[in-house]
Amino acid sequence: MPLRGDGRLNHDLMPGEKGPQDACGVFGVWAPGEEVAKLAYFGLYALQHRGQESAGIATSNGEQILVYKDMGLVSQVFDETALNALTGHIAVGHCRYSTTGGVTWENAQPTLGATASGTVALGHNGNLTNSADLVNLVAERYGAQRRGELARGNTTDTALITALFAGDADHTLEATAMEVLPRLRGAFSLVFMDENTLYAARDPQGVRPLVLGRLDRGWVVASETPALDIVGASYVRDVEPGELICIDADGMRSSRFAPTERAACVFEYVYLARPDNTINGRSVHSARVEMGRTLAREQPADADLVIPTPESGTPAAVGYAAESGIPFGQGLTKNAYVGRTFIQPSDTLRQLGIRLKLNPLREVIKGKRLVVVDDSIVRGNTQRALVRMLREAGAAEVHVRISSPPIKWPCFYGIDFASRAELIANGLGVEEIGKSLGVDSLGYISTEGMIAATEQPSSQLCAACFTGKYPIELPPDDQLGKHLLEQAELPLGQPEDGLKQLAVRTGGSTALDHP
């Protein structure tokens, strides 16, 4: 299995334990006179929590597009020399967690492809559900030869979008996008560009976030508002579900490729997004604190101290403590540099499990009845080890409270949970899970309480991982799966040199070479 990118910044606290993996982060900027590659770098830095496997930036100077991408964290992929080489006035950036396709350099983004009038570089957050249909559409339109990124070994749904953007000789990229985007199903927040224009598009359900910001001399689009803040851009508005935005020398213009059928991911509020993000007008931090308050009302506990599982459980723990009147405390210390190594722990260290990343403050928790607040339970291994560690440190009682309902269903829209068979709540009731974890009591927030904390209408949210009700129709099981495009029998034929499809004048002839 290929090594994943360095530095798991999500809340996995045990070696090898798989929690809810973040989606991806996308960033785009149109700003003549600015160092757009550096703006993209810092924008991706603010979005690092959304994907830690690979990172990439593409830039255009109006005549050619250059792409630099590699495996690892943003700060590891880029240095001053690489950023200085990425000149131009438009940039598109991406940090990846793989929800389709393997963890390989070929699958890193932005992807690069030929169009009727030049080149497209594209970054994608989300997951398409009709990839099998799109494979057939690519073969039907452009023949059986694999071209572009598909010829270079890219096995992602993003490569299919890029291939479809090739378009016809008499179509601009904008016209091609307006024809292709309505054919996509599932979750897609896209940021892409050609030599002269920056584009942003969001699926009709708006599953994944995407925001528009303004610079003094340009525009920014990004997955989350903190990426606007870090580059000094002011928030303008969310990109609307079903909207295509185009930004060039003539300004910003908007088109509708589909009507809005809003079904935003509720798990963005629970865990995925940064707490300083704002989604559809609602502060994520405020939503999480309110989830904690609701949790305290719904699942009270007789205890001496409320502690969070760092850091993902902290806002909900603050809310729980405030509502319950039980003091809030930091009972666990987290190693700030956790996960930033390719070195696998030895068997001896692996047995220590969670202690590699968390350590209890014994003087704080000894003899105390604790409420431990976390955002979710996936397989339960992390919580089981945490409870054992707290008891060994002298906790008198351990009551676990979770600020989301039991996760029972997989996500097909851009979050990579454990398989349904591995989800502990799929096979056990709450009491049984509590016994399995070794806690004195276990309580989850209700689905209604969680949704109310977001201040969004329940009809405009996707909570499929909790309810099993998917707002976007799913294809048959054999047409789903992370590695669908790696199957040899797909009707795309043998690869030819994909670089032949890229005009040398665009700079595409070397942009796909491994750095």
Residues designated catalytic? 24
* Inter-residue contact 98 to 416 (CB < 8 Å): yes
Find out whether 246 is annotated in a ligand binding site: no
Q: Encoding tokens for residue 221?
A: 């689009």
Q: Which residue has the tokens 């953007």?
A: 165
Nearest Cα to 68, choosing from 31, 121, 114?
Answer: 121
* Neighbour count for residue 3 (Cβ, 10 Å): 11
Residue 478 to residues 411, 475, 484, 489, 495, Cα–Cα distance (Å): 16, 8, 8, 13, 24
The rounded distance, in Å, linking the Cα atoms of 65 and 114 is: 11
Q: Encoding tokens for residue 480?
A: 């789903």
Summary count for the chain: helices (H), strands (E): 19, 23
* Inter-residue contact 305 to 327 (CB < 8 Å): yes
Can you spell out the DSSP letters for 415-453? Answer: -BPPPGGG-HHHH--HHHHHHHHT-SEEEE--HHHHHHH
The rounded distance, in Å, linking the Cα atoms of 201 and 257 is: 9
* Inter-residue contact 160 to 109 (CB < 8 Å): no
Which residues does 26 contact at the CB level (< 8 Å), separation at least 6?
47, 92, 93, 94, 123, 124, 125, 189, 190, 191, 210, 221, 222, 223
Residue 206 to residues 202, 277, 427, Cα–Cα distance (Å): 6, 16, 31
The rounded distance, in Å, linking the Cα atoms of 101 and 154 is: 8
Find out whether 95 is annotated in a ligand binding site: no
Find out whether 513 is annotated in a ligand binding site: no
Region at 242 (left for phi over 0; alpha for psi -120 to 50; beta for the rest):
left
Q: Encoding tokens for residue 419?
A: 């398989």
* Inter-residue contact 217 to 34 (CB < 8 Å): yes
The rounded distance, in Å, linking the Cα atoms of 291 and 316 is: 6
* Inter-residue contact 67 to 56 (CB < 8 Å): yes
List residues forming the annotated binding site for [4Fe-4S] cluster.
265, 411, 462, 465
List residues forming the annotated binding site for Mg(2+).
312, 374-375
List residues forming the annotated binding site.
265, 312, 374-375, 411, 462, 465
